[in-house]
Structure formats: C-alpha cells, structure tokens
Amino acid sequence: MTATITNCAKGTLKPFVPSAANPWNRQKVQHLLKRMGFGASPEDVDAGVLLTPGKLVDNLVDEALKLPLFTAPTWANWPLSNYKDIQKEVQDQYIEWATTCVKGMIDYGFREKLVLFWHNHFVTRAESYFCPSYLYQYHKLLQQNVLGNFKTFVKSVGTTPAMLVYLNGVENNRYKPNENYARELYELFTLGRDNGYTQNDIKETARALTGWVGFTAPCAPIGFSADFYDPGTKTIFGKTGAYGYNELHDLLFTERKEQIASYICTKIYKHFVNPDPDQVIIAGMAKTFINNNFELAPVFRELFKSEHFFDAYIIGVSIKSPYDFVIGFLRDVDFPLTDKDSLLGIYYLCGQLGQEFFQPVDVAGWPGNRSWITNTYLTGRWQTMDYLLYGIYQKQPSAFRTLAKYLSKNSNQPDVVTKAITDFFIPNPLRNASDYKLATEVFKSPVPANYFDNNQWTLDWDSAPAQVALLLQYLGRLPEFQLA
C-alpha cells in the first residue's frame, strides 16, 4: 500500500517577508539554494543570509539568464561522413559532452538544474538517435530556453533533430502520417494525459506537423520538405483550417492556454516545491504564466520568492535526485572535482543510481522522488557516499577540518561540532537529543574518551579529518540525508 502524502504547507504566492517569529536564516537560504541548484557551500549560505530573499532569488535568476552557452565542440554539426573511426569517435564525443554537462552543474547551478528539469520534460534518449551533433543541438536548445518563452520552447523542440528522430517526426509525411510526436505533444509536453484533446485531434495534428523529413545525410541537419507536407484542411479542437506547424502551435496556445498553464505549473511545483501539489498555489502560478504570455522567468521568480515556498512544511519534503545527491554533497563540502576523470566518475555514479543524463528511462522521463529510493538505489547511495568521502580524504583530508571549523566556529566541544555539521547536511533538525548523541558518539569514536573528558581534544588534532569523514558517512545513511 502506498503511503498518503499530505501537503501541510500554508502561505500564498505573496513575497516572503522575514519576521522575528519567522526569520530569514541559514536553513531557509540552504533550502532555496538547494532547490534552485545543486548544493551550497557554507560560504554561499552565509553570503545569502546577507541578502533579502527577493534579492537572492533575482540574483540567481538573472545569473541564469545571462550565462553564456557552453562552447560548441568541434563536432557540433558533424554528419556521419566526417568520422574516420566512428565507434571510438562517437564514444569520445559523448564522454566529452557528458563531462562538460556535469561541470556545468557544478559551476552554474540554477540554469543547469533547469536544463535537467526540461530534459526530463522534453525527453529524448541519445541511444535512439546516435549522432553526437544531434545531442549537442538538443542540449543547446534546452540551455537557450530554460527561462524563456514556453511557446517558443515547444515550437523549437519539435523540429530539433534529436526529437524528430526519437519521436518519429522524421517519418511523419502526407502519405503516411505518424502520430507519435503529436500524441506526446499533448500528453506529455503541453496538456497532460486526456486533458482537452481527442484521438481525432491527435490524428489531425499529426497531419499539421508533416514535412519535417528533409534528411540530406546521416547525422546532418533535418529540414522541411514541402513535398511531404499535407496542405489540406484539418479540424483540431473543433476549429477547421489549413493548419501547418506554426499555425498548429498558435491554435494550441490560444485554445488550450488554461490547460497548458495548469499542467506546466503543476509539473514545476511538484519538482521544485513539493511532490504533493497545492492547487491554489498552482492556480496562481498558472495565472502569472498566462498573464506573462507564457514567459517562464516570472513564474519562477514569483514561486521562489513566495511565503509558501519558505513554509516550514516545504523544507525537506523532496527526495534528492542522484545529481542532487552527488553534486550537492560535493558542493556542500566545498570540494568540487573538476578533472575529467572525476567528472566522468560523477556521470557514471549518477547513472548507477538511476539517472543517466541523456538517457531517461522512457518518453515520460524519470519518475523522480520516491522512485530514487529502492533497496538497490539506497544501498548504492551509501556506497557512493563512501566512494566520495574516500576520494576527498585521499586528495585533500584538510577539507574536512576546514568544514568543521567553519560550521562550528572552531569549537573544541564534540557535541557542538557534531550538531553544527549535522544541521548543515540535514534539512531539518534531528527529532530527538538522543539522535544527536548517537551522531556525537560516531564523531568521537576514533579518539579515547579521556581526551574529551579532559578538554584536550581540538579540531587541530590529526584525527579530526577522519572524525568528520566518519560522521558524514553516518549521516549519509540516515533517511533524512536523502531529503532536500
């Protein structure tokens, strides 16, 4: 039996205004930075406390809007004829772009968090279209549109080669229409399942989308061919006209704007706020979406600034994705691994935990949240934490000492150090004093008790980095550590 999830959060979409009873503090800053990005160093958190909530949100959104696109690789537009050793070169190019994307998640949190979100919405699977050039062009399109106009986004993604191949648009012609993309356009990308369309609408929409079959060579651009386009009249949503690609999208966003706004805002809410949707908040988001002509940035600004987003019942209710788990931890300890082997290792680890970038499980994407925690994936997370801790300890053990000193203000009291570290890595305080006591015992375990009893121990001891690593290993196995 599936447990019932109840969203107990209150508050509206009005901006959060701190007060003595509900202050702007490190916990709320961490909550914001982790939902809008992948983890946050202690210094990032303290810098955020010095800003107002609205200013911090605006800074993050503005930064994402201004960031340059990733530098195009040499193979960005390669057709198949450019390859000499195709198997090796294609593999090397996928690895090159995978590591580029992982580094982007480390360096540019919010924009790349949105890239991952939209990748899981406008799903393509790289194994289906093979061509690295198509992968690059698809990823570039995501980066360009993450905070832009959603209608433009939808129109653009339907003609990108990766999508044309993955959902069979390249096979959709006037002589033999293919309904695959038309169906997913409504069911997954804009309206939601069985929400405002019929099977006949799908059939007629497929006709309107015909013509994008212009292959010139394998892995080369795919263009429009008028010879394969169906110019006849179509009846969609009860309206009849000679709809083509652009006219179809105009019709969709005119006749079904309420359904689109509600569906997309629900998906945003469930991913970034709470898996249990609040229909009142979503209705407000949808109104903002429509009033801004389907621009995404105003919706995200309003949501992340809202008193609802900062409600105590929103903090720590979502399960970390593998990328949140791995990159978030590395950013939390302020130890980004940016060499090629480490970046590839992160890509591999996240794939082992169920989230292989460029390869969502199917056209509906990764289900997310509770699906990240199976018996296999949970033990995999424990092993991944061991691997990360070992890697940091081997390369720079002093990072653990630095972290503990910063968080505890260089305390020589093991319970103070333990609580400071625990409260930084766990979104909400542990329930009982006994829980902190257990964590403290783990932290103290490598050192004989008399050194603590006599107040001789400090964080400058040689044992301190290992003690911090052991505590983090213990915390990484707690259910609360899996939450964001």
Tally helices (H) and strands (E) across the chain. Answer: 23, 4
How many alpha carbons lie under 13 Å from residue 207 in its C-beta half-sphere? 17
Q: How far apart are CA 368 and CA 322, in angstroms?
A: 10
Residue count of the chain: 484
Q: Taking the mean position of all CA atoms in its chain, how far away is CA 210?
A: 32
User: Contacts from 368-372 at CB under 8 Å and sequence distance 24+?
Assistant: 368/120, 368/271, 368/275, 368/319, 368/321, 369/275, 369/318, 369/319, 370/275, 370/319, 372/319, 372/320, 372/321, 372/322, 372/482
Share of the chain above pLDDT 70, in %: 99
pLDDT the model gives residue 5: 61
Report which of residues 336 and 185 the model is more confident about.
185
Position 338 confidence tier, pLDDT thresholds 50, 70, 90: confident
Q: How far apart are CA 294 and CA 147, in angstroms?
A: 10
DSSP state of 4: P
Position 354 confidence tier, pLDDT thresholds 50, 70, 90: very high
Say whether 159 sits in a helix, a strand or coil.
coil
Q: How far apart are CA 131 and CA 142, in angstroms?
A: 17
pLDDT the model gives residue 337: 80
Question: Is the entire prediction scored with pTM above 0.85?
Answer: yes
Residue 220 phi/psi, 5-degree rounding, is -85, 165
Q: How far apart are CA 199 and CA 193, in angstroms?
A: 12
Q: How far apart are CA 471 and CA 72, in angstroms?
A: 42
Q: 304-330 pLDDT, tens per residue?
A: 999 999 999 999 999 999 999 999 999
Q: 61-90 pLDDT, tens per residue?
A: 999 999 999 999 999 999 999 999 999 999
DSSP state of 216: S
Position 2 confidence tier, pLDDT thresholds 50, 70, 90: very low
Residue 240 tokens read as 């009849």
pLDDT the model gives residue 6: 76
Query: Bridge-partner residues for 149, per DSSP?
Result: 295
Q: 252-298 pLDDT, tens per residue?
A: 999 999 999 999 999 999 999 999 999 999 999 999 999 999 999 99
Tokens 């959603």 belong to which residue? Answer: 150
- Please answer whether residues 14 and 280 qualify as being in contact, where contact means their C-beta atoms are separated by less than 8 angstroms: no
Residue 304 tokens read as 């992340």
Q: 403-454 pLDDT, tens per residue?
A: 999 999 999 999 999 999 999 999 999 999 999 999 999 999 999 999 999 9
- Minimal CA–CA distance to 224: which of 246, 202, 242? 246
Residue 131 tokens read as 């061509």
Query: Bridge-partner residues for 241, per DSSP?
Result: 234
pLDDT at residue 3 above 60? no
Position 216 confidence tier, pLDDT thresholds 50, 70, 90: confident
Position 140 confidence tier, pLDDT thresholds 50, 70, 90: very high
Q: 59-68 pLDDT, tens per residue?
A: 999 999 999 9
Residue 481 phi/psi, 5-degree rounding, is -70, -20
Say whether 128 sits in a helix, a strand or coil.
helix
From residue 195, how far is each of 125, 150, 260, 330, 338 by CA, in Å? 25, 18, 9, 41, 44
pLDDT at residue 118 above 50? yes
Tokens 């890239």 belong to which residue? Answer: 115
Average pLDDT over residues 79-106: 96
Residue 332 tokens read as 């939390």
Q: 372-392 pLDDT, tens per residue?
A: 999 999 999 999 999 999 999
Residue 55 phi/psi, 5-degree rounding, is -65, -40
Q: How far apart are CA 78 and CA 247, in angstroms?
A: 32
Helices 297-305 and 257-272, axial angle in degrees (round to 10):
50
Residue 213 tokens read as 């079959």
Buried b vs exposed e over 141-171: b needs ≥16 C-beta within 10 Å? bbbebbbebbbebbbbbbbbbbbbbbbbbbb
Average pLDDT, the chain: 96
Average pLDDT over residues 21-44: 97
Residue 143 tokens read as 């980066």
Q: How far apart are CA 150 and CA 284, in angstroms?
A: 17
